Every structure is written in structure tokens, then in C-alpha cells.
Amino acid sequence: GPNGAGKTTTLKMLAGLLHPTSGRATVLGHTPWNRDPQYLSRISMVMGQRSQLHWDLPAMDSFLVHLAVYRVDKVQGKQAMDELITLLDLAGVLKKQVRSLSLGERMKCELCVSLLHRPAVLFLDEPTLGLDITMQARIRQFIGEYNRRHSATVFLTSHYMADVTALCKRIIVIDHGKLLFD
């Protein structure tokens, strides 16, 4: 949908960040806005304008903090981190301070940190916005590969039809909160 259609608001409701004025929704058998810790531990959300990374720390330190917050087993955390670092080609940026990363490097690190705890559902709000064409293609390829490997459900908002056609089996178009196409 166009700007203001309700795409981000919908994702925020499904992630439990906003409470709807009416209606109901369930994700993984939970009502998202109840903020049940069991639900929150099984989802992740990446919003291009919001960072989960600590700006003054190297990216690797943010990854380690995330693993600790989610209480990920050390062996499983290392396996997840190694896989994501390889898939996203992040080895060269792990020791760089987050504030010094390019937009493309930062977005890859945002995806990495959001997936370290192996969420069952990933909410992506415009994950390729502002990236050059090459980086857009790399991010799309990564999301598709991650979905194939881990059978994670991916909710994606995008203005770019290339994102939608490359990644989505089901497309919903909304405008001002109203469903136009499913």
C-alpha cells in the first residue's frame, strides 16, 4: 500500500507494540498485544529506522548482548551466529563500531541480530529501503535463504515490487487500514 496505508501499524500490532482500537489477531496462538514472554521470545522485528544495535559498540558486542538477553544456549548461539555471519558476509564488519557502518552493512547486522535467537516469525518493515540495487538483491536473497533453512514465517512490508515478487507467496494490499487485495 501507499504511505499512510497502515503497513507499519499492522506490523506493530502483530508484534505486540500497539493495541488495536478494535478487532482481534493471533500469531503463534497468542494475542500479540498481551506481550506474553513466550510469544515475544519467538518473534523478531526489523524496522529500518529503529536499531537494535548499540551505536557505540562493535557489531559483535551487540550480537553477544542479544544472545544473553534471549538466554540463548552458548553452543546454539555460536552456531546461529556463525551461520548468519557467513550468510550475510559480515566477517569484515564485526569489530567495527556500529555508527561507522554503511547503511547496507548496518541493515545486514540488524538482520543478523534479530535472527540470533531463531524466531519463528520475523516482521520486516521495509528492509531494503534506502539500499542500493546490489544490496537490495543481497538482502532479498538472504531472507529467502533464511526462510528456506528455518521455515520461519516472514511478514514483509515494502514499496518495492522486486521485494514482494522475490519473497512473497501471499500479497495483501491495504490503503488507510482497509484491505484492497489478498
Q: What is the pTM of this model?
A: 0.88
Question: φ and ψ at 15, to 5 degrees?
Answer: -85, -5
Q: Which residue has the cell 555508527?
A: 99
β pairing state of 153-157 and 121-125: parallel
CA 41 to chain centre: 14
What string of DSSP letters covers 18-61? S--SS----BTTB-GGG--HHHHTTEEEEETTS--S-TTSBHHH
Break the chain down into helix, strand, coil percent, rounded to 5.
Answer: 45, 15, 40
Give me the sign of the Cα torsion angle 59, 50, 16, 12: negative
pLDDT at 155: 93
* pLDDT tens, the chain, 182 aa long: 778 888 889 999 999 999 999 999 999 999 999 999 999 999 999 986 678 899 999 999 999 999 999 999 999 999 999 999 998 999 999 999 999 999 889 989 999 999 999 999 999 998 888 888 888 888 899 899 889 989 999 999 988 888 888 889 999 988 888 889 99
Q: Counting runs of H as helices and runs of E as strands, what totals does the chain give?
A: 7, 5
